[in-house]
Structure 1
Amino acid sequence: MRTHPLKSAIAVHWREHASLYVFVIVLFLMGVIFGAIVVNSLGFSQKQDLYYYLAQFFGQVSKDNVASAHDMFRQSYMHNVKYMVLMWVLGISVIGLPVILVLLFLKGIVVGFTVGFLVNQMGWKGFLLSFVSVMPQNLLVIPLMIVMGVMSISFSLRMVRNQFMKRPHEPVFPMVMRYAAAMAAAAFGLLVSSAVEAYLSPVLMKQVVKWVANLIIIIM
């Protein structure tokens, strides 16, 4: 039975980069844990201030007084693409390798802090809200960022080997083209995640906020 070329390419890619994937995933999870820990280190007044803005936001959601889906889609896509392009450029620059690791760690902190704060302040209601507001788009964004991070780190390491190790050099142009193709594929995937964030998540949030409205104190 013949293996599909795409499946074969993915299998080869995984075998070649398995250790990097493990490292990047562990780094990201460390960021998530650190973000959750930061929530517990906040003072009472800081938590109250953040909760005030959060409650106002959910109040606006329940009243449909939020930005248009088109604006949300554009803002979400531009934010994520800029983040991804930055990693891509840092991979080409070679010296930006440590910064790629920092960006992946920071992404984990943001996710961990957001979910941790919601759960810390609202208990099970916060978990439910984070499930519909944070998780849907991040189920796509996080894997894409992890893959792009691995590709950027791998590209950097290959460029270093080409420059400093006494071994036959790998042709640079095909490497750059594969790297650019990976960025293009990631950018396309972000279209889907941004559409989810702009068109699906607000609907889910509105339903959840209405469902638990009698249990959430909305500060106007």
Structure 2
Amino acid sequence: MLRNRSVEQYLKEHMSFYIFVGVIFVTGVVFGAVMVNALSVEQKEEIMRYLSNFFSTVQSGGLEGDIPGSFKDAFGMHMKWLLIIWILGMSVIGLPLILILDFLKGVLVGFTVGYMVGSLSWKGLLFALVSVVPQNLIVIPTLMVCSVTALAFSVHLVKNRFMSRKGAIYEPFMRFCGVTLGSAVLLAGVAIFQAYMSPMMMKWVTPMLVSLAAS
């Protein structure tokens, strides 16, 4: 009962942050999808050549041969996002930059899925469902939780340092660090999934895309 009450209190205090961050992210997704239509013919051809080479690599099992390297790249990328959010959360000036990061994450997802669907139709959607969606079902909520915690901690710093509202900073700081560490562990699991499972899932749908991307 006490735990449920604490969770309820947490959601009550931070719901406005979650809504705001969610809107920023969705706006980024829409913006990324719209960006696909702004690409020139030459840019689309260059991306398609890259995709054709990537599909060929996946089909030949090239990604499966370097699982440690794939894990290192995926884990390193996730940790960079977390580290940047943590550093920005420790400073007042990081407030708008955290929101920019959430917007950019949305742009990346929206552009990737939008281009795949726009260029390869339902086959592109199928590839996006096995290559982009699974890990982002965990990555995006995790980064949103970290962003909200960082925003809340920054606001707490503002209230204590600049508005003369004295309050304990130890508990919010430890909560912020705890959420960041927990997120790192969770994203390590996502990186393992990306290294081991994603190549097999992509290899399953790639044969139908190789000839389409090359044409």
Contact 1:136–1:196 (Cα < 8 Å) also in 2:
no
Deviation of 1:12 (Å): 2.1
Match of 2:214 in 1: 218
2:184 aligns with one of 182, 187, 190: 187
Q: Distance in 1 between matches of 2:143 and 2:43?
A: 30
Match of 1:174 in 2: 171
Q: Distance in 2 between matches of 1:63 and 1:214?
A: 11
Contact 2:92–2:157 (Cα < 8 Å) also in 1:
yes
Task: Specify the code of the residue in structure 1 equivalent to 2:89.
Answer: G
CA gap 1:50/1:86 in 2 versus in 1, 3 angstroms: same
Match of 1:162 in 2: 160
Deviation of 1:148 (Å): 0.4
Match of 2:87 in 1: 89
Q: Distance in 1 between matches of 2:96 and 2:15?
A: 19
CA gap 1:214/1:197 in 2 versus in 1, 3 angstroms: closer
Where 2:206 maps in the other structure, the secondary structure is helix
Deviation of 1:60 (Å): 0.7
Deviation of 1:203 (Å): 0.7
CA gap 1:214/1:193 in 2 versus in 1, 3 angstroms: closer
Alignment of 1:6-25 (within 5 A): 7-25=4-22
Deviation of 1:99 (Å): 0.7
Contact 1:59–1:218 (Cα < 8 Å) also in 2:
no
Match of 2:25 in 1: 28
Where 1:195 maps in the other structure, the secondary structure is helix
CA gap 1:163/1:213 in 2 versus in 1, 3 angstroms: closer
Where 1:170 maps in the other structure, the secondary structure is coil
Contact 1:28–1:105 (Cα < 8 Å) also in 2:
yes
Q: Distance in 1 between matches of 2:141 and 2:72?
A: 21
Contact 2:48–2:213 (Cα < 8 Å) also in 1:
no
Task: Specify the code of the residue in structure 2 equivalent to 1:19.
Answer: S
1:49 aligns with one of 33, 36, 46: 46
Deviation of 1:65 (Å): 1.7
Match of 2:151 in 1: 153
Does residue 203 of structure 1 match 2:200? yes
Contact 1:155–1:179 (Cα < 8 Å) also in 2:
yes
Q: Distance in 2 between matches of 1:26 and 1:117?
A: 22
Root-mean-square deviation (Å)? 1.5
Alignment of 1:72-87 (within 5 A): 72-87=70-85
Unpaired runs of 5+ residues, structure 1, are none
CA gap 1:102/1:9 in 2 versus in 1, 3 angstroms: same
Does residue 119 of structure 1 match 2:121? no
Contact 2:82–2:146 (Cα < 8 Å) also in 1:
yes
Unpaired runs of 5+ residues, structure 2, are none
TM-score (norm 1): 0.92
